[in-house]
Every structure is written in C-alpha cells, then in structure tokens.
Amino acid sequence: MNKNRTIKVDYLARVEGEGALHVRIKNNKVTEVKLKIFEPPRFFEAFLRGRHFTEAPDITARICGICPVAYQMSSVHAMETACGVTVDGPLRALRRLIYCGEWIESHVLHVFAHRAPDFLGYPSALEMAKKHGDLVRQALQLKKVGNEIVTVLGGREIHPINVRVGGFYKVPSKSDLRPLVEKLKWSRDAAIESVRAVGKLEFPDFEQDYEFVALRHPNEYPFNEGRLVSNKGLDIAVREFDDHFVEEHVPYSSALHSTRKARGNYFVGPQARYSLNFSKLAPVAQQTAREAGLGPVCRNPFQSIVVRAVETLQACDEALRIIEQYEPPDAPSVQVHPQAGVGYGCTEAPRGILYHRYRLDDRGMIINAKIVPPTAQNQKTIENDLRHFIPDRLSLSDEKLKWQCEQAIRNYDPCISCSAHFLKLDIQRE
C-alpha cells in the first residue's frame, strides 16, 4: 500500500446537509483532518436583529427541517428567562411531549435509514429494505407516531406553527391526545425490539476519553432544562455558557467550531446525554439498554446507534406517561411582557445541546442573537475521532477506508444544515 495517497469522496451520504471531509496521509501518518462544511452561511442571527421577541420561535424553526422543535424550545426558554417568566405545569409537560415526537422522528430516521445499512452491509436504506422489509416497515410506523405527536401539538409534522413564547397558541384536549395512547404502547414495544436488534450489531473496538456535555436535571432525563454538566468537572447554569465555551472561525468551514475554554473539544448528543443521565432514564429504558450490552456510560461512538434506539424508547415511554397524566391547562399560554435584558436558553435537540442567547430592548425587540447548534459543537470531536480512527486502518483500500470514515462521521448524525449555517470526503496520501 502506498504510504502517501489521496482518497476522495465527493459527497458523504446519509447526513443532513452538504459538506466534505479532507484527510491527508503522509508516510502512513494522518497529518491533516478537516471537516469542511461548505453549506452557505445562513445569517439567521442577523435576521433576528430588529425582530420582535415573539417571532424568534417561528424564525429559528426554519433553521432545520429535522429539529425545528429544538429551535422553538431553546428560543422560547431564552425569551422567557429574559422576561422573567417561568412556564410550568401542563404547558411544560406539553413541551416535553412535542420534544418526544421530534426525538422519535429524528432518531428513527437516523437509526434505520442512515446508520443501519452501514452495519448490515448495504449501500443504502433501499437496498437494506429488500432484505429487511419488516425492519423498515416497523421503522416507518415508529417514525409516523413521532410525526403524529408533533402534528397534534404543533399543527404539522415539520416546522410546527403552534409553539409560542409562554406556551402554545392552542392546546390539545384529552380526547385529542387519546388516539396516541395505543399507538405509543405499540411504539414502546417496537422501540424495545429496536434496541435489542441494534444491540446485536458488531461494533468496531474504538473508545475515546471524551468530555461529554449535556443538560442534567435532578428528576428527569433532560429535554428542556437543567444545568450544563460534563464528566470533566463542568457544572454551570445555562446563563454561564459563554463564560465556558467559545466559538471560533476556521477557514475551511462555514460553521463555527466550538471548544470548551482552556480544555478543547467536547462531545454533545445522545451519547453524552445518556452517559451523564443514565440514572434518569425510565426503568424500561435502563433495563433494555443493559440487556443490549450498554453500560451506564458509552464511550464507543459506533454504539451511538444503540443509544439513539434507547432514547427512542425513552421518548415513547415519556410521551405515554405525559399523555396519561395530562390535564389541560386553564390557558394555552402564560402572558409574557417584554423587558430589556438578556435571555439564555439551552435544550436538548436530538443531536445535543442547542444554545440560544438574545438581548432584548424594553419593547421586546431583539438587539442581538447567538445560536450554537449541536453539530457545530461536535465538529472538532469528529475530526479528533478520525485522527485516532484512521491510523489502525491504513492497510485498507482507499474505498474501504473512505466507507469507514463516512461511518465514523455518521456516528454523530451531523446536521450540517443547522451547523452552517455535507459530504465530500477527500483523503490525500502522500
């Protein structure tokens, strides 16, 4: 095998958005790894300036068609903290419920359409469906239940239109939610089967000493609130985010790279949430995870497919619990009066923490905005994984090496559309 070689894949498939990977190998050493995000900058933070604080949920939801609920949730929480309002009771529960729907939609798509074909040796979900039709049928049905939750609460399954600062424009009646109960009971069983199925896959032996960062709440598996914690000593309120994390521009990416100040790269997403919050999972999720071979901490990014299946189960179980306990609130939203100040919001998008910060004037007009999406935060960790992953695989042919690198990237389910604000793979061996 040539010690210096160039391998090039133009577009990495089955990730969200457009980007590329460039790897240079010289004398059998990886000398350069660049995750290049060339999706054009989106300028959403600039669009938000001069807009009313009530517009942020609907404007930011347009950043992503996969996780619009996450953008709505982080923005409403930021606006509410700026205005000194807390939303609790049934409205808070409904926010968790719509988030359950989005996690189910996003995770099921990733597990079965994006990632399972890699492990089962198929080039695409279509090819996989020819041999594993029942698996794909079940996944489509499971995803549909996620869609239905988002539709019932949000008005439609993509870019929901019913979320507002202070709550919702309209809340469902108990009878609106009732039809979901039987579907969710089926979904919970299907999700258990999914965890068992993906737990049997074979994973490369690859673990790293990551700094996981996620929300932690005293009583719940995190969706909307909690403190930002890590396994390396971080424990801060959301409003302290900017004191501990910094974004920097790199010339080859239209997405800013995030690092933890004075420490470096960190890891957000399902694996971080799981590893920092295992004890907060529902008992059925904990038990099923253990049966699938996962411990309370998961450091192998290739097992993230199992973690996502566990979180799908968690979301189905949580959605069912919320619906069974639901009593409609007296009003669909609480009143929020604007006041000058800064608001901070951070919620757990399917791919990890999504941070929003807004400065408002006394009329509630947005003076400036900052949005830090999960994939931007994971870019350096993805590059770092590849630096450690490639050296043991240099004997592979270029084609096989490319395919394995793509898989190492897909572990993160990167959402390039969000982060740019993907994927061309270019490996140079010199």
Partner 1 sequence: MNLSQCRPAISTCVIGIGNLRRGDDGAGIVVIRRLMARPIPNTRFVEAGDDCLALIDVWQGADFVILVDAVCSGVEPGTIYRINPRSQTLPAVFSPTSTHCFSLAETIELARILDRLPPRLLVFGIEGEDFGLGQTMSTRINLAVDEVTREIADEVAPAQTTLTLPPGWHDRTDVRCWV
Footprint on this chain of partner 1 (rule: CB under 8 A): 11-18, 65-66, 113, 125-126, 129-130, 133, 136-137, 140, 143-144, 147, 156-159, 417, 422-423
- Who's near 163: CB < 8 A, 6+ residues apart? 57, 58, 61, 69, 72, 73, 76, 98, 154, 169
Indicate the residue among 38 and 203 with the shorter CB distance to partner 1: 38
Distance CA 223, CA 347 (A): 6
Q: How far is the CB of 48 from partner 1 (least distance, A)?
A: 18
Q: Which residues, in sequence order, are bridge partners of residue 26?
A: 29
Q: How far is the CB of 134 from partner 1 (least distance, A)?
A: 9
Q: How far is the CB of 147 from partner 1 (least distance, A)?
A: 7
- Who's near 108: CB < 8 A, 6+ residues apart? 139, 142, 143, 146, 312
CA nearest neighbour of 291 among 313, 269, 270: 313
Indicate the residue among 158 and 284 with the shorter CB distance to partner 1: 158
Indicate the residue among 275 and 417 with the shorter CB distance to partner 1: 417
Output the CA angle 57-60-64, nearest 5 degrees.
125
Q: How far is the CB of 303 from partner 1 (least distance, A)?
A: 23
b/e 196-233 (16+ beta carbons within 10 angstroms → b): ebbbebebeebeeebbbbbbbeeeebbbbbbbbbbbee
Q: How far is the CB of 415 from partner 1 (least distance, A)?
A: 8
Indicate the residue among 223 and 422 with the shorter CB distance to partner 1: 422
Q: How far is the CB of 34 from partner 1 (least distance, A)?
A: 19
Quick one: tokens of 170? 């309209």
Indicate the residue among 89 and 133 with the shorter CB distance to partner 1: 133
Indicate the residue among 16 and 211 with the shorter CB distance to partner 1: 16
Q: Please give the C-alpha separations between residue 316 and each of 91, 149, 259, 412, in angstroms, as whole numbers.
A: 19, 10, 33, 22
Q: How far is the CB of 254 from partner 1 (least distance, A)?
A: 16
Indicate the residue among 147 and 304 with the shorter CB distance to partner 1: 147
